[in-house]
Structure 1
Amino acid sequence: MRRPLLLWSVFASCAFLVLGGDSAWNGHTSNANNGVPSSGTLLFTPFYVPPGAKAYDSASPLVLYTGAWTESFSSAYVENTLHSSSRKGSSVFFSFTGTGIEWFGNTGVRHGIANVYVDGVFVRTVDTWNEVSRRQQRLFWQYGLAHGRHNIKIVNSGRRRRGSRGYLIDVDAFVVTNPDEMTIAQRDSHPRSKPTTRQNSGWTLTQTGSTGVNAMQLAIISDSHALIVDKVEHNPLEINGHPAWGALYNLRTHSVKPLSMQSNSFCAGGSFLGNGTMLNVGGNPVVEDFTSATDFGDVNGIQAVRLFHPCDSEDVGGCDIFDNPSQIHLASPRWYNTVVRISDGSVMILGGSTKGGWMNNATVNNPTIEYYPPKSISNPGIPIHSPFLASTLNSNLFPAAFSISNGYVFVAANNDVMLYDWQANYERQLPPIPNGVRVTYPLSGTVLLLPLSPETEYTSEILVCGGSTIDDTRPSWDISSQEPASTQCSRIVLTDEGISRGWEVEYMPQARVMPDAVLLPTGQVVIVNGAETGIAGYGNVRSQVGCSNADRPTLTPVLYDPRAPIGQRFLSEGMPTSEIPRMYHSVATLTPNGDIMIAGSNPNLDRSAATFGTEYRVEWLKPPYMSQERPVILGVNGDEKRLGFGQQVTMKVRPVAGSSLRGRHVQVSLMDLGFVTHGVHANSRLVYLVNSVVADDGITVSGPPNGRIYPPGPGWVYVVVDGVPSAGVKVMVGDGEGPPLDEAAISR
């Protein structure tokens, strides 16, 4: 039976500094909202016009009404006017040029149901009833339209939910994303049309779905859902009448469920624990009014510990994230920290800064390591000073870290790398990344642990791609968004012999800063996202594009085969090209189905529709095997789906039609799909399992030897037959228990 980690966490909360305990949506509002419901609680007003968008008041001559409508006047309405109708069939029509549309109005106990059409096509019904009256609420939104002329029509359906006292439908304002005032230069630099796909490449790229919150952080939690986390901002997805900054995304239906997060998760880190609970830690303090006129009501997230317990059902109605910093939080503040699962199923939390900013420096650096659950490695439960994290300033935020097969942790920060023996608290400095390339924020590259194989005794090898050679001591005003990123990829084998041999250097077809590297079940690597020039972040350097510190988005993925000879490892010819820039705050991950989910991009303080604006559209990059006949896993160890260390289990696999597994090249890939943010794919891992074919449709598989090869926790098993992988099946590696508890550290 799994140990309920939350229970000891709440018990242990007395060991930490207690923060304020207000609820996230605690009644804070902008001064413009004077509505006070009967409860006396002030309400958040979500009306917001992002940069690059344009608002049209309900009284605009471009908004056309048909039927019985009344006009009301109040300072509580946008531009002091509101149009309302309770008559069935009454409609409003608005024609616009842009890529998105939002409808704002009121909700309350007298409100009914509207039908919404875009470009003459029915989209959905909108129920505007609410038990509490609210003004300036976002009632409908649709983004990702091709840039051009569109229209929206809202029709009073004459229907209402049970308990409603009326049929009222309100129109307060419309907000158009990328309106026709957008310049030709902006359109050329940030196209919004459908992505194209090169023919006959075998790879395809499609755009389907919307995340609702910007995908700053991404983790696959089940075969049907991904968890998405954003910073506090005016996202279109709402929860309880307010913008959400966390969501569950259905990988099959593309629907989204908002999560009730309490603290600001801006630039948090994350990892799964050994019992399958996901940990999301750190973030930023409360959003102040410099973001907008709105006080979002969030609580301080810079020491937050958020817990998402396993939720494997496709019905996620009861799934949410536990987020209460007054009960559970870190021992020290961390913004831009990295979280890595280690060999006992607990997590190591590395670095970050004590408050938000751009480039790290000694006044805000947090050069320490702590654990969850806390450990007594130095002083019980006290963060451990890291000379490495102190010496790697300035560009050392979001250090790249992986638990490797000898039980140590590989860490890269700035231009430097080390091996860390966490049990002995010993740092071993390794040769720096060649040619002065820096790879951590804001000179962000991407770092990956290459596949571990029993044929090489699970020898660990690291791949580092992209980044920048910009001097991180230069002030922001001396750095330009047009300075080239690095094309370099470097590899190092983490044995004494490999370290003595040093780094092997090769070059990508394109320079990339802020790339994402995604492992495939076949052992190949796909590199996507990022830009050819500039650095990560927004609002800092010269020649910003919109607010972006980077320019010239890299729109074509590149395939990397680590087993090919040097000089023959990269393939970009024939790869599909996107038309969606994926800049700062973009993510990509392998899915259980075997394709790659690509989302996010928001190099802005808040939601924006300007050049390199906030992206909610999702793309799906499909390797050639997605269109081939694929093997199917019918069962792993019966229905238990548990894979113990060194345990031999049976797998039933249906090969392609009319064939047998006998005589085929069969590999079993155990994968951790990781926690992805800012180019850091923490815990991403592929371990080839020892296997043997025992029947036409049967395989015996041995679990990984120990937690050093694969730290205990959730994983995905893919069977690869002659280079074609199955869809993945989720398993629990290890005993499924929570990580060990150090009572001395917890009680401190």
Structure 2
Amino acid sequence: MASTPTLILFSLLHHLLVLLLLLPYQQNTLIFAPPGGGKWNLLLSDIGVSAMHMQLLNTDRVVIFDRTDFGASNISLPNNQCRNNPNDLTLKIDCTAHSVEYDVATNSIRPLNVFTDVWCSSGAAMPDGSLMQTGGFNDGDRNVRVYKPCNDNSCDWQEFDSVLLQNRWYATNHILPDGRQIIIGGRGQFSYEFYPKRAGADQSYNLPFLSQTNDPRIENNLYPFVFLNIDGNLFIFANNRAILFDYVTGVVVKTYPTIPGGDPRSYPSSGSAVLLPLRNLRGGANITAEVMVCGGALKGSFTSANNRNFVGALNSCGRIRITDPNPQWAMETMPLARVMGDMVLLPNGNVLIINGALLKLY
């Protein structure tokens, strides 16, 4: 899942228009993409909720949802429904929706029910196309929500209360080859667990790497970057460090070098990361996997911001071949520094970097 901007007090809107194309295998410099000649069209003036989280489904519909503890939204629940939640911090009785489904084909919005707070939750799509969302804030921090797509407007969120073993707020989810999701970390949680649960394996497992990368002042190990390596192990990056982790045995297979400069990259320093297209450099079974991490905040930005000295974001990207016997970081420079950027792998193998801000305010 993408990082959630709810704790950010500052945003530079003009950077929403900045599009960068990264050509990872042709050169080592990040460049601006040439103008495409397109234009923006306004399809809907108001979808009713803010898109804190958004996921394209296999039905070509988009499910959008937002936190529930920030007051009423701009769209009502259907049939005079109301959410009655005595644990909510803002509205105990709320007759507005905090999730909608957007139908691309008809350009229409349908309100959905979210019952507990999804603020800075995490999730991923399941093999059957369902979206599974876990954790969040307040009464939602141990809940699991599942949205099974449909084409007849009959589907809605299903919510399962307190099925997670630990509170998961700012955690990271990753789909596994066996169809389960691994849920890693979260605020104050240096552990991981799986969902759906298996009989006899209903446990939460300690992951010391998360406590080792934790800065207690700002918890710079939140929303860790996680990618499945070709050997079945997980590449996990938090703060400024990374490991290769065997989640089956609970063993750290490899410890990678600290990213040059030692500056934090994961939330709330809010860099972004992507697994680049797999490459077969030498033929046969010699497949290479490479991860790129871009942007973030300078070390000490939190202290500086408390003293009203707002330090600029990082303009560097680091690339590392996680399959190499002796992997090392290669650094590159973006045309613009940024935090809160989004990185999307395109079908042609390029990476699109969009959005973000020049400064980081905690």
TM-score computed with the length of structure 1 as normaliser: 0.39
**In structure 1, how many angstroms separate the alpha carbons of the residues matched to 2:181 and 2:198?**
10
Is contact 2:120-2:169 (8 Å) kept?
yes
Quick one: which of 349, 355, 370 aligns to 2:193?
Answer: 370
Matches within 5 A, 1:79-98: none
CA spacing shift, 1:345–1:227, aligned 2, 3 Å: same
CA spacing shift, 1:415–1:478, aligned 2, 3 Å: farther
1:634 corresponds to: none
One-letter code aligned to 1:508: M
2:235 corresponds to 1:414:
no
**In structure 2, how many angstroms separate the alpha carbons of the residues matched to 1:473 and 1:532?**
15
Matches within 5 A, 1:323-334: 323-325=159-161, 329-334=163-168
Could you tell me how far 1:404 is from its partner in structure 2? 1.6
SS in 2 for 1:339: strand
Matches within 5 A, 1:453-532: 453=279, 457-471=286-300, 474=303, 477-478=306-307, 480=309, 482-497=310-325, 500-532=326-358
One-letter code aligned to 1:421: D
RMSD of equivalent CA atoms: 2.8
**In structure 2, how many angstroms separate the alpha carbons of the residues matched to 1:436 and 1:392?**
11
2:207 corresponds to 1:382:
no
Matches within 5 A, 1:50-199: none
Is contact 1:348-1:370 (8 Å) kept?
yes
One-letter code aligned to 1:519: L
Quick one: which of 44, 48, 73 aligns to 1:212?
Answer: 48
Quick one: which of 63, 73, 76 aligns to 1:238?
Answer: 76
**In structure 2, how many angstroms separate the alpha carbons of the residues matched to 1:478 and 1:419?**
37
Higher Cα radius of gyration: 1
CA spacing shift, 1:325–1:466, aligned 2, 3 Å: same
Could you tell me how far 1:475 is from its partner in structure 2? 8.0
Matches within 5 A, 1:284-295: 284-285=137-138
CA spacing shift, 1:252–1:272, aligned 2, 3 Å: same
CA spacing shift, 1:203–1:463, aligned 2, 3 Å: farther
Instruction: Provide structure 2 residue ranges, at least 5 long, that are not aligned to the other structure.
Output: 1-11, 20-33, 83-94
One-letter code aligned to 1:437: D
1:10 corresponds to: none
Quick one: which of 123, 126, 134 aligns to 1:270?
Answer: 123
CA spacing shift, 1:196–1:527, aligned 2, 3 Å: closer
Deviations 1:574-613 (A, max 9, x none): xxxxxxxxxxxxxxxxxxxxxxxxxxxxxxxxxxxxxxxx
SS in 2 for 1:263: coil
Quick one: which of 272, 275, 287 aligns to 1:449?
Answer: 275
Is contact 2:129-2:149 (8 Å) kept?
yes
2:141 corresponds to 1:302:
yes
2:214 corresponds to: 393
Could you tell me how far 1:523 is from its partner in structure 2? 0.8
2:25 corresponds to: none
**In structure 2, how many angstroms separate the alpha carbons of the residues matched to 1:324 and 1:524?**
39
One-letter code aligned to 2:225: A
SS in 2 for 1:390: helix
Is contact 1:263-1:325 (8 Å) kept?
no
Could you tell me how far 1:253 is from its partner in structure 2? 3.4
Could you tell me how far 1:274 is from its partner in structure 2? 2.7
Instruction: Provide structure 1 residue ranges, at least 5 long, that are not aligned to the other structure.
Output: 1-188, 286-299, 354-364, 536-540, 542-748
TM-score computed with the length of structure 2 as normaliser: 0.79
Is contact 1:414-1:439 (8 Å) kept?
yes
Is contact 1:348-1:371 (8 Å) kept?
yes
One-letter code aligned to 1:382: Q
Is contact 1:263-1:324 (8 Å) kept?
no
CA spacing shift, 1:203–1:469, aligned 2, 3 Å: farther
CA spacing shift, 1:344–1:196, aligned 2, 3 Å: closer
Matches within 5 A, 1:581-600: none
Could you tell me how far 1:471 is from its partner in structure 2? 2.4
2:297 corresponds to 1:438:
no
Could you tell me how far 1:441 is from its partner in structure 2? 1.2
Deviations 1:145-204 (A, max 9, x none): xxxxxxxxxxxxxxxxxxxxxxxxxxxxxxxxxxxxxxxxxxxx768xxx899xx82253
Could you tell me how far 1:433 is from its partner in structure 2? 1.5
**In structure 2, how many angstroms separate the alpha carbons of the residues matched to 1:463 and 1:484?**
21
CA spacing shift, 1:282–1:472, aligned 2, 3 Å: farther
Is contact 2:301-2:360 (8 Å) kept?
no
Could you tell me how far 1:489 is from its partner in structure 2? 0.8
One-letter code aligned to 2:131: M
Is contact 2:135-2:143 (8 Å) kept?
yes
2:250 corresponds to 1:429:
no
2:144 corresponds to 1:321:
no
CA spacing shift, 1:519–1:374, aligned 2, 3 Å: same
SS in 2 for 1:335: coil
Is contact 1:443-1:470 (8 Å) kept?
no
Could you tell me how far 1:250 is from its partner in structure 2? 1.9
Matches within 5 A, 1:588-627: none
Deviations 1:7-65 (A, max 9, x none): xxxxxxxxxxxxxxxxxxxxxxxxxxxxxxxxxxxxxxxxxxxxxxxxxxxxxxxxxxx
CA spacing shift, 1:303–1:196, aligned 2, 3 Å: closer
1:255 corresponds to: 108
Is contact 2:313-2:358 (8 Å) kept?
yes
Deviations 1:668-707 (A, max 9, x none): xxxxxxxxxxxxxxxxxxxxxxxxxxxxxxxxxxxxxxxx
Could you tell me how far 1:402 is from its partner in structure 2? 1.1
Matches within 5 A, 1:521-600: 521-535=347-361, 541=362
SS in 1 for 2:359: strand
One-letter code aligned to 1:304: N
One-letter code aligned to 1:484: G
